[in-house]
A and B are shown apart, each in its own frame.
Chain A
Amino acid sequence: MEGSVLVIGGGVAGLQASLGLANQGIHVHLVEKAPYIGGVMAQLDKTFPTLNCCICILEPKMIECYRHPNIEVHTLSEVVDVDGSKGHFAVRVVQRPRHVDPSRCTRCGACIESCPATVSDDFQTGFEPRKAVYIPFPQAVPYAPSIDEGACLHFKGGGCRACEEVCPVGAIRLGEGVRVSKLNASSIIVATGFQQYDPTEMGEYGYNRYENVITSLEFERLISPYGPTGGELERPSDGKLAKRVAFVQCVGSRSHRDGVGVPYCSGICCMYTAKEAVTVKEKYPDSQINVFYIDIKAFGRDYQDLVNRARDELGVEYIRGKPGEIRENPLTKDLYVWYENTDTGEIGRKEVDLAVLSAAVLPRFENVRLAGALGVELDEFGFFRVEDHFLSPLETTREGIYVCGCSHGPRDISDSVTEASAVALKAAGDIRLAAGDSGG
Chain B
Amino acid sequence: MSGNVSSPRVGVFVCRCGKDIGGVVDVPAMVEYAKGIPGVAHAEEDAFACSTTGLERIEDAIRSNNLERVVVAACTPRTHEAVFQSALERAGLNKYLVEMANIREQCSWVHREEPGEATDKAKDLMRMAVAKARLLSPWEDPEVKQNPNVLVIGGGISGMSSSLSLADLGFHVHLVEKEAVLGGMLRSLHKLSPTMRDSSEVLEHMLMSVEDNPNIEVHRSSRVKSVTGAIGSFDVEVESEGAEKEAFNVGRVIVAIGSDILRPQGLYGYGQDERIITQLDLEGMLRKGGVRGVSTVVMIQCAGSRCEERPYCSRICCNTALKNAQILRELSPDIDVYVIYKDLQTYGIESSALELNTKRKGVKLIKYQDNKPPVVTPGEDSISVRVFSPTINEEMEFNADLVVLSTPLIPVEGAPEISEMLRLPLDDFGFFREVHQLSPLEFATEGVYVCGTARAPKDAVESISEGLGVGSKAAENRFSRRRGRGAAFAEIDEKKCSGCGICIELCPYNAIRKDELGISRADSSLCGGCGVCAASCPERAITIHHFTDDQLEAQILAAVGRRSGK
From B431-439, B497-505, B549-557, give the one contacting chain A.
B431-439
- Nearest B residue to A413 via CB reads B438
Given the known A-B contacts A301-B431, A389-B461, are A425 and B165 also in contact in the complex, defined by CB atoms under 8 Å?
yes
B286 shortest CB reach to chain A, Å:
18
Query: Are B464's CB and A389's CB within 8 A?
Result: yes
Query: Are A308's CB and B192's CB within 8 A?
Result: no
- Partner among B205, B306, B471 whose Cβ is within 8 Å of the Cβ of A391: B205
| Dominant secondary structure at the A interface | loop
Query: Are A414's CB and B479's CB within 8 A?
Result: no
A176 shortest CB reach to chain B, Å:
21
Query: Are A138's CB and B441's CB within 8 A?
Result: no
Query: Are B464's CB and A342's CB within 8 A?
Result: no
Interface string of B425-453 (1 = CB under 8 A from A): 00100010100111111000000000000
Query: Are B465's CB and A429's CB within 8 A?
Result: no
- Tell me which residues across on chain A come within 8 A of B353, comparing CB atoms: 263-264
- Tell me which residues across on chain B come within 8 A of A338, comparing CB atoms: none
A33 shortest CB reach to chain B, Å:
20
Query: Are A410's CB and B468's CB within 8 A?
Result: no
Query: Are A47's CB and B437's CB within 8 A?
Result: yes
- Tell me which residues across on chain A come within 8 A of B79, comparing CB atoms: 56-57, 60
Tell yes or no: A67 within 8 A of B by CB. Answer: yes
Query: Are A299's CB and B315's CB within 8 A?
Result: yes
- Tell me which residues across on chain A come within 8 A of B479, comparing CB atoms: 25
Cα-based distance from A66 to B55 in the complex (angstroms):
13
- Partner among A143, A304, A383, A410 whose Cβ is within 8 Å of the Cβ of B312: A304
- Tell me which residues across on chain B come within 8 A of A49, comparing CB atoms: 437
- Partner among B53, B83, B466 whose Cβ is within 8 Å of the Cβ of A60: B83
Query: Are B82's CB and A139's CB within 8 A?
Result: no
Interface string of A253-267 (1 = CB under 8 A from B): 010000000011111
Query: Are B313's CB and A298's CB within 8 A?
Result: yes
Cα-based distance from A419 to B471 in the complex (angstroms):
11
Cα-based distance from A57 to B80 in the complex (angstroms):
9
Query: Are A63's CB and B20's CB within 8 A?
Result: no
Tell yes or no: A123 within 8 A of B by CB. Answer: no
Cα-based distance from A267 to B462 in the complex (angstroms):
15
- Nearest B residue to A422 via CB reads B468
Counting chain A CB atoms within 10 Å of each CB, which of B51, B356, B456 scores highest? Answer: B51
- Nearest A residue to B157 via CB reads A390
Cα-based distance from A297 to B313 in the complex (angstroms):
9
Tell yes or no: B380 within 8 A of A by CB. Answer: no
Within 8 A of B (CB), among A407-432: 409-411, 413-415, 417-426, 428-429, 432
Cα-based distance from A389 to B463 in the complex (angstroms):
11
Tell yes or no: A345 within 8 A of B by CB. Answer: yes
- Partner among A139, A389, A421 whose Cβ is within 8 Å of the Cβ of B195: A389
Within 8 A of A (CB), among B405-441: 427, 431, 433, 436-441
Tell yes or no: A313 within 8 A of B by CB. Answer: no
B414 shortest CB reach to chain A, Å:
20
Tell yes or no: B311 within 8 A of A by CB. Answer: yes
A250 shortest CB reach to chain B, Å:
11
- Tell me which residues across on chain A come within 8 A of B391, comparing CB atoms: 342
- Partner among A254, A263, A419 whose Cβ is within 8 Å of the Cβ of B465: A419
Cα-based distance from A141 to B50 in the complex (angstroms):
11
B152 shortest CB reach to chain A, Å:
13
Cα-based distance from A429 to B168 in the complex (angstroms):
6
Tell yes or no: B475 within 8 A of A by CB. Answer: yes
Tell yes or no: A20 within 8 A of B by CB. Answer: yes
Cα-based distance from A411 to B347 in the complex (angstroms):
9
A417 shortest CB reach to chain B, Å:
6
Given the known A-B contacts A297-B347, A393-B161, are A418 and B466 also in contact in the complex, defined by CB atoms under 8 Å?
yes
- Tell me which residues across on chain A come within 8 A of B351, comparing CB atoms: 265
Query: Are B19's CB and A230's CB within 8 A?
Result: yes
- Tell me which residues across on chain A come within 8 A of B471, comparing CB atoms: 422, 425
Give the B interface residue count (CB, 8 A): 80
B93 shortest CB reach to chain A, Å:
17
Tell yes or no: A165 within 8 A of B by CB. Answer: no
Query: Are B352's CB and A264's CB within 8 A?
Result: yes
Given the known A-B contacts A394-B465, A418-B440, are A20 and B352 also in contact in the complex, defined by CB atoms under 8 Å?
no
Tell yes or no: B472 within 8 A of A by CB. Answer: yes
A55 shortest CB reach to chain B, Å:
10
- Partner among B50, B427, B475 whose Cβ is within 8 Å of the Cβ of A63: B50
Query: Are B18's CB and A138's CB within 8 A?
Result: yes
Cα-based distance from A417 to B306 in the complex (angstroms):
27
Given the known A-B contacts A297-B345, A390-B197, A394-B465, are A139 and B51 also in contact in the complex, defined by CB atoms under 8 Å?
yes
Cα-based distance from A128 to B347 in the complex (angstroms):
34
Query: Are A381's CB and B52's CB within 8 A?
Result: no
- Nearest A residue to B51 via CB reads A139
Tell yes or no: A344 within 8 A of B by CB. Answer: yes
- Partner among A303, A394, A425 whose Cβ is within 8 Å of the Cβ of B313: A303
Query: Are B437's CB and A63's CB within 8 A?
Result: no
Query: Are A63's CB and B55's CB within 8 A?
Result: yes
Counting chain B CB atoms within 10 Å of each CB, which of A50, A59, A389 scores highest? Answer: A389
- Nearest A residue to B209 via CB reads A391
- Tell me which residues across on chain A come within 8 A of B539, comparing CB atoms: none
Cα-based distance from A432 to B479 in the complex (angstroms):
15
Tell yes or no: B350 within 8 A of A by CB. Answer: yes
- Tell me which residues across on chain B come within 8 A of A409, comparing CB atoms: 348-350
Within 8 A of A (CB), among B309-333: 311-313, 315
- Tell me which residues across on chain B come within 8 A of A342, comparing CB atoms: 390-391
Tell yes or no: A200 within 8 A of B by CB. Answer: no
- Nearest B residue to A49 via CB reads B437
Given the known A-B contacts A47-B438, A299-B315, A301-B431, are A421 and B469 also in contact in the complex, defined by CB atoms under 8 Å?
yes
Closest 6 CB pairs of A and B: A422-B468, A264-B352, A421-B469, A425-B472, A267-B347, A143-B52
22 of the cross-chain contacts (CB-CB < 8 Å) are: A20-B472, A50-B437, A56-B75, A60-B83, A64-B82, A143-B52, A226-B20, A230-B19, A231-B19, A264-B349, A299-B313, A342-B391, A390-B197, A390-B205, A394-B468, A411-B348, A415-B440, A418-B440, A419-B469, A422-B468, A422-B471, A425-B165
Beyond contacts A107-B53, A225-B23, A417-B440: 7 other A-B pairs, Cβ-Cβ < 8 A, are A60-B79, A298-B343, A389-B464, A393-B161, A421-B468, A429-B169, A433-B168
